[in-house]
Structure 1
Amino acid sequence: MMHETKHLWEVDHPYYMNEGNYFEAGQHTRWLSWQDFEREFKDSDLDYNWFVRWDWLEGEDSGGGTYNGDDYYRHAVFMLQMIGQRKAYLCSHEIAVCRADEPTVRAFLQKRWEYMQQMWEPFARTVTEIKPE
């Protein structure tokens, strides 16, 4: 069975996650571009910087305007929620993006997706071992 690959801006996750940290102010960072964000986090330690949610927001949801046909126009924001596992640190990032950023954003997410699967793999293995009665 083939699955059609959606663009990141076409994905609408159920519910949402608030920016920052409910218990501590100042835990939301805004970045002017994907390149600025990636310089800081591209090679960050996966154990210390566990990204748990992403949302690509365009149009009214982004506050950045409407897509005008120019893939290099930064009209959207990419939201990332992160847990610093070692210190139970919850924070979020809001990154100004354009559609041309999608390949590098996907590469960043792919590495984190593989890590998340590794974290949950022992559970997945036990689920497949359970046989219905």
Structure 2
Amino acid sequence: MSRNLWEHDHPYYCAKGNYFASPDKGMHTKYDSWTAFHADWGDNDPDLNLVVRWDWERPDPADYKPYGEAVPPDTLAVYWVLQRKAILRSTECVVTEADEPAVREWLARRAQTIADVWSPFLAAAEGATA
């Protein structure tokens, strides 16, 4: 069985929003739940709205409990290139462990789109390691 999505630590990090747009331009949108996020972004065209990265962010309770603070919920950050308009943007939604199967299924469909973009190189890399 593969690891849970919150167990993946991607190299480096990605800034939320868009470096070239002021915060009031709406380049980072937050949602209170996976359901709310999916209502806005779930069925959009994956070619026009290319997911280039995702991070399931799980806060470390040790950073909050010594101060008597509540541990924030897990969030899913998704980083997009809206290709037709060359827009970089991000979204973030609260997620729970119960959301993982739906999140995993959605991300798998998005991964196929980016794999298709890189397929000439992926096929060459697979041949080189075989």
**TM-score class, shorter:** 0.7 to 0.9
Aligned to 1:86, the other structure's residue is in SS state: coil
Hey, what does 1:54 align to over in structure 2? 54
TM-score by length of 1: 0.80
Q: CA deviation at 1:99?
A: 0.8
Of 2, 7, 11 in structure 2, the residue corresponding to residue 10 of structure 1 is 7
Of 93, 100, 103 in structure 2, the residue corresponding to residue 102 of structure 1 is 100
Hey, what does 2:35 align to over in structure 1? 35
Q: CA deviation at 1:14?
A: 1.3
Q: Distance in 1 between matches of 2:125 and 2:117?
A: 14
Give per-residue Cα distances to partners, 1:51-73, cap 9 Å, x unaligned: 11011111249x9716xxxxxxx
Hey, what does 2:74 align to over in structure 1? 76
Q: Would you say the 8 A contact 1:19–1:92 is kept in 2?
A: yes
TM-score by length of 2: 0.82
Instruction: Identify, as 1 or 2, the structure richer in helix.
Output: 2
- In the TM superposition, structure 1's runs of 4+ consecutive aligned residues that sit over 3 Å from their partners are 125-130
Of 59, 67, 71 in structure 2, the residue corresponding to residue 65 of structure 1 is 71
Identity of counterpart residues, as a percentage? 39
Q: Distance in 1 between matches of 2:87 and 2:109?
A: 21
Give per-residue Cα distances to partners, 1:32-68, cap 9 Å, x unaligned: 100001011121101110011011111249x9716xx
Q: Would you say the 8 A contact 1:65–1:76 is kept in 2?
A: no
Tell me how many residue pairs correspond in the alignment.
119
Which runs of 5 or more structure 1 residues have no equivalent in the other structure?
67-74
Alpha carbon RMSD of aligned pairs, Å? 2.2
Q: CA deviation at 1:124?
A: 2.5
Hey, what does 1:21 align to over in structure 2? 18
Give per-residue Cα distances to partners, 1:67-108, cap 9 Å, x unaligned: xxxxxxxx2111110000111100001111111110000011
Higher relative contact order (CA 8 A, sep 6+): 2
